[in-house]
Structure 1
Amino acid sequence: MGSASRSAELLSFRSLVLLLGFLFLYVPMFSLIVFSFNESRMVTVWSGFSVKWYGELFRDQLMLDAAWMSLKIAFYTACASVVFGTMAALVMTRMRAFRGKTLFGSLITAPLVMPEVITGVSILMMFVAVGDMLGTPIQRGLSTVWIAHVTFTVAFVTVVISSRLQDMDRSLEEAAMDLGANRLKVFFLITLPIIAPSLVAGWLLAFTLSLDDLVISAFTNGPGSTTLPQKVFSSVRLGLSPKINALASLLILAVSTAGFIAWWFMAREEKRRQRDMQLAMQKGD
C-alpha cells in the first residue's frame, strides 16, 4: 500500500509539473490571441470585441512586406539547411574516421553555442572581406540574410538528422546492397524514407529559427530587405500596437497548421511503414 501510495503521489506531482509547464508556455500565447480582438488601443485593457486591428494590419503594407520577406528567407533557409545538414550528418555518422573529422564536427556544431551577435559580426566581416577581394562591395539584401541564416541553422538541422541516423538500423541498408542496389539507390529508397521525420523536424526547426531571428538579420540585411522581427522591434520601441497581437495570432495559426499537417503526414507514413514491415515478416514466415 505504501509503495502504491508513493507511486500515485509521484504521478500526481509529475502531472502537476507538466500542467504548470504547459500553462507557462501557452497562457501568454492564448492571452495574446484574445487581446488581438480587443477594441481598445491599449493592449492590456479589454474594452470589447472587435476585429478592426486585423483590418489595420492588412492595410499596413510595410508590415506585410516585412512578413513576406521573412517568410521567403525562412523557406529558402530551411530548404538549404536540410540539404547541407543531411550531407553533414552523413559525413559525421557514416564515413569512416578521417583526419580532421573531429574538427569538422566541432565546426558544424559551433553555431549552437556561439552568441548570435558574434555570428552576425563575423558574417558581416566576411562579406566585407569578400567584397574587398572582388574589388566591389557586396550589396546586402535577401541573399546575404539567407546565407547568414543558413550558416547558423544548419547546425541545428545536422544534430537532429545525426541523431536519427545513429539510431537507424543499418541492416536494412546492408540487405538492400546485398540484393544488388548501389549506395545512391539505397539512400533514396531506404535511408531517405526512414529519416524523413527527422528531415521534416529539421526543416520546421530551421524555418522557425530563421523566421524568429533578429540579431543576425540586423547585421546582414540592407535596404529593401527588412525582416518581420526588425519591423516588429522598431514598432514596439514606439509603443506596442494591437496590430502586433493580430500579426502574432496569424503567425501562431499558420505555424500550428503547418505543424499539424507535418505531424499528420509523418504519422501516416509511420503507420504505412509498420504495416509494410508486418506484411514482410508475415511473408517471410
Structure 2
Amino acid sequence: MPIIQTETGYVYRSSKKAKHSGGFVKRFGVFLLICAVVCGVIYLSNVVDFAGVFKINKYQIFDGQTYFAVAVKDGSSFAEVSSIAEELKNKNASGFVFKLEGTYYATANVYQNKTDAQKVCENIADEYNAIVLPIKLNKLVISSNYTQQELSNIKNAIGIFEKSFDELYQTSLSLDRGEILSAEAKQKLQVFKETCQMEKETFAKVFANNCDVIVTNVKLLQSEVISNIGTLLLSDNLKGDIKYCASNLLSYFLTFEANVTK
C-alpha cells in the first residue's frame, strides 16, 4: 500500500475503495441476517399455532342493548326519590330506583323500545314530569385462555338475562292488558324458572371447580334470575312486582358488566 513521508515519519494512505468495499460487505451481511429472521418468523407462524399454544382468545360474550326507563323523579340521594318510588309501587308500576352516574331515578317501568316509553311519559304527564331515561348495556369483549367452545357456552349462559327480561316484559304486558290472570302468569313463570335452573346446572357442570371472575359472575347472574322469578311466584301483587323484578335484573346486569370488565 502506498505511503506518504512527512516530517514526523511515514503514514499509510488509506484506500477509500477498500473501506467502501468492506462497509458494503457488512451491510449485505446484516441484510441477509434480517431476511433469514423474517423468513423464520413467517415459517413458524405457518407451522406453529401460537393461539393454540397460549390459548388467548378475544370473544364478544354480550352484544349490547339499550333499554328505556320512564323516570319520574331524580335526585342526588335515595331518600330524595324513595317516597315517589313507593307511590309508584302502590299504582302497580315498578317503583324501582336506578342509580346511574351518581344520580338516583325513581322509575315507573322499563321498556324495550323508546317509542313505548315516550307514550307512557305522555300518558302520565298530568301527574308527573317524566322523562325517557336510556339505560345502555355495552358490548362485552374479553380476552381469555378459554377455548372457542367454552367462550360460546359463556355467551349462551349470559343470554339468560335478555331471555328473562323479555319473559317478564311480555308477561307484564299480558297482565296489564287483561289477557291473562296472575295464576296463569305464575304457571308460565314456573316453567321458565325450571328451564333457567336446568341451564344453570348444565353450565355448572361444564365449568366445575372454576373460580374465574367471568365464570363466577355468570353463575351469580343465573342465580339472580332464578331468585327473582322465585320471588314472583310468591307475589300477591304480580302486576307491580313483575315490573320491579324486570328493572332489578337490568340493574343487576349493570353490576355484572362492571365486575366482568374491571
Q: State the TM-score bracket (shorter-chain normalisation).
A: under 0.3
Based on CA coordinates, which of the two structures has the bigger radius of gyration?
2
- What TM-score does the superposition give when structure 2 sets the normalisation length? 0.24
Does 1 or 2 have the higher relative contact order (CA < 8 Å, sep 6+)?
Answer: 1
